[in-house]
Amino acid sequence: MKIMEEQNRNPQKDRMLLFFIVLLLTLSMITIFCTSKSDNTAASIDTTTSQIDTNKNVDTTPEPPTEAITSADTDSNNLDANLELQPIQYTEDSNDKNSQYTGKRINISVTGLDGRVGRNSHLADANHVISVFTETGEILITSIPRDTYCDLGYEDSTNLNKLTICRSNKGRSAYHKELCRIAGVNKIDYWVEFGFSQAMGIIEFLGFKDPKNTLQVLRNRKGLGGDDYQRCYTQGQFIRQALLGHFNKFTGTLGGVLARAGLLLVETNLTNDVALDIIDKLDKVGFPKSPDVIRVQVKPNVNIKYKIYDFNNENTVPQLVNKIERFNKKRFDDEIETAQPVRNVQKILDDALRSAYLDTAKNPQRVINKLVTYYNQRAWYQVMDLNERDRIRSEFGTLLYNAYVKRGKQGDADKVKAVIEADKVLHNK
């Protein structure tokens, strides 16, 4: 399908809208497994272990046995493909025969991968399917709890037959098959994956005044009631409200540079051209015509009366954080749970850089091995001091670029340079 062009089309505005919708579609997915510190200090944090660990039962999932991962999981995203003209992939309709939606739909899975700083992990802690109905200008957000049962062939006593383990142990294709089964869709047309640190960068770019506490609210599964199901629904409502409130407001002039910078933050098979075509089609049908055009559902279905929080009200997050912290304090006082230590991410990254510097002259491959996981995670976003963050990001870029050049891998070196420069563009550095 050829990308449609209109005489009055503003390419810069389109690309800004593209970047915004991709960020919004992916933002809430990550926040399901994000935590934040309860204090107000500017120290670096690793939010996978927090002073407010309200998800202890989730975080202590047994480490899955090592199994082969398909090549689709290990292939890096081909950034050059973002420049190619490609037709949109469509799914004709939902497997749910009682669905109110008909016609062509585009199913985008957005997955937040959990993992500590410096450690590779493919545990799927955030699992949403965003269905875009281009003919009617509607969006359905299907949120799925991480511990939803999947028959992965393990003994039930291992506690490993879960959706989160499916992504880690069985690979992306098997994971998408399970998403389709649970969400009631025929197939996943496009996918987006990223980790916690990238989400921090997205949140800061979007201008949230208090991202740490917002993450705490979206992460919490006990203090606000409803367990994983309420958490999924709250997150879906967060993205719904963001889309309704901001879709028609972005009229920036940064153009394709900013759009490409945003795509460098995530791993995805979405291309610029495909996303632009989706935006065009939504615009043509007047999206969003009303708040009802975006709906949130949780699968599997359970008999829960979900609470809806107004995230456009600046008092909502502080009030919910206060409620969560009172709940946590009681559990700590009653010794039901124990506060977890906070890791100093800045020290971890500085130690890695210091070690890598020792190998720059004679062993560039060792430099790459020591830094590449932190780089892939964009771990510097967990450094709260902005000046220190900029320094660490710059040092990672310089060391990795030079190491790849010495190894004769100019393409990898250029990709590192592009990521670092894109990061600066996003945050005006």
Domain-embedded: residue 363? yes
Claim to verify: residue 323 and residue 371 sit in the same structural domain: no
Residue at which a domain ends, from 303, 328, 353: 328
Claim to verify: residue 39 and residue 161 sit in the same structural domain: yes
Beta carbons of 225 and 63 less than 8 angstroms apart:
no
Domain-embedded: residue 2? no
Residue at which a domain ends, from 266, 293, 328: 328
Please give the chain's pLDDT, 429 residues, in tens: 433 333 444 544 444 444 445 555 544 443 333 333 333 333 333 333 333 233 333 333 444 433 333 333 333 333 233 333 345 555 544 444 445 787 789 999 998 887 678 887 788 988 999 999 999 999 999 999 999 999 999 998 999 999 999 999 999 999 999 999 999 999 999 998 887 777 777 767 766 677 777 777 887 878 888 788 998 898 889 888 878 876 664 433 443 455 566 667 778 888 777 877 887 888 889 888 899 999 999 999 988 889 999 988 888 888 998 999 888 888 777 666 666 677 899 999 999 999 999 999 999 999 999 999 999 888 998 888 889 999 999 999 999 999 999 999 999 999 999 889 888 877 665
Domain-embedded: residue 263? yes
Claim to verify: residue 65 and residue 130 sit in the same structural domain: yes
Domain-embedded: residue 224? yes
C-alpha to C-alpha distance for 332 and 54, rounded to whole angstroms: 10
Q: How high is the pLDDT of residue 18?
A: 47
Claim to verify: residue 255 and residue 194 sit in the same structural domain: yes
Domain-embedded: residue 71? yes
Claim to verify: residue 373 and residue 421 sit in the same structural domain: yes
Q: How high is the pLDDT of residue 258?
A: 55
Q: Give helix 386-406 / helix 364-377 axis angle, nearest 10°.
A: 140
Claim to verify: residue 284 and residue 349 sit in the same structural domain: no
> Of 70, 137, 73, which Cα lies nearest the Cα of 101?
137
CATH number of the domain encompassing residue 108: 3.40.630.190
Q: How high is the pLDDT of residue 207?
A: 67
Residue at which a domain ends, from 328, 356, 380: 328
Q: How high is the pLDDT of residue 210?
A: 73
Claim to verify: residue 278 and residue 408 sit in the same structural domain: no
Number of domains in the chain: 2
Domain-embedded: residue 1? no
Domain-embedded: residue 301? yes
Amino acid letter at 414? D
Q: Which residues of 175-189 are buried (b: 16+ CB within 10 A; e: fewer)?
A: bbbbbbebbbbeebb
Domain range for 243 is 11-328
> pTM for this structure?
0.73
Domain-embedded: residue 349? yes
Q: How high is the pLDDT of residue 26?
A: 47
Q: How many CB atoms lie within 10 A of CB 84?
A: 11
Claim to verify: residue 323 and residue 377 sit in the same structural domain: no
